[in-house]
Amino acid sequence: MAMAAEAIPGMLTARIAVVTGGRRGIGAAIARALAARGARIAIVDLHDADETVDAIAAAGGEARAFRADVSDEDQVGAVRDAVHAAFGPIDILVNDAAVNHNGGFEETDAATYHRVLGINLHSQFHLCKAFVPDMRAKRAGRIINLSSGTALSPGGPPLFAYRVSKAGILGLTFALAGELGEHGITVNAVAPGFTHTPAVDEAIARGDFPPDIVEAMTAHQLIKRPSRPEDVAALVAFLASDEAGFITGKFITADGGSALAP
């Protein structure tokens, strides 16, 4: 049974949403936020996402997890078939699956470059190819692609492949918005700033990030607190709603004002 959305009655009731990368971090927060508004959630992740599914169920929502490498077109096709069997045609697609690589151009080999682009960028193409027909048939749909503030900024850590992939998402978003608007489908890109997630803590533990990076990045924001996955999830939930039905082809940041900070 779909979760009742008491604060915003019926906002996403009876909608079917696919969220990639929903095992933890921003993706898990997005899955929970959409479920809280009444959507039924299909989480697609390379790893077991049962913790997110259980959290949604404990709150009264409905979610199922599907394991797949989203950079593989055949696996995405198989997931589409499984989601259709479980839920039927979808209404909302959130492309959040991503990996990072800490290295500049000189330190990035071809295999790493193609792996990062495959998961971060090409997966979004595969998922759209798989699920856009559902939305075209309904003449309605929402696609939200997760990009990054690094897409438009050459500064910061040496994240060559990651930065290229996130910039490519902007081109994909703009091109899709141009072609799909006439079918009632909106396509937008959300760009989180530096968000404190379990992946950040792991990168600190590995030595990829300095131990004070959360404090340093927070100090660079206009809003002086760490960014949380829920901050990004709230924006995605709005873009998935009927209230955002006239917003498409946009690159929207959720970064606490870091792009404007001196």
Active site residues: 162
Angle at 257 between CA 123 and CA 145, to 5 degrees: 15
Distance of alpha carbon 67 from alpha carbon 158, whole angstroms: 31
Dihedral Cα 105, 110, 111, 113, nearest 10 deg: 50
Distance of alpha carbon 130 from alpha carbon 210, whole angstroms: 40
Assign 44 to helix, strand or coil.
strand
Q: For residue 71, how far is the Cα from the chain centroid?
A: 15
Distance of alpha carbon 73 from alpha carbon 109, whole angstroms: 23
Distance of alpha carbon 109 from alpha carbon 117, whole angstroms: 12
Instruction: Give the pair of three-digit tokens for residue 95.
Output: 């492309």
Q: What is the DSSP secondary structure assignment for residue 17, as one 8-state letter? A: E
Instruction: Give the pair of three-digit tokens for residue 164.
Output: 């290229």
**Residue 228: CB partners within 8 Å, gap ≥ 6?**
29, 195, 196
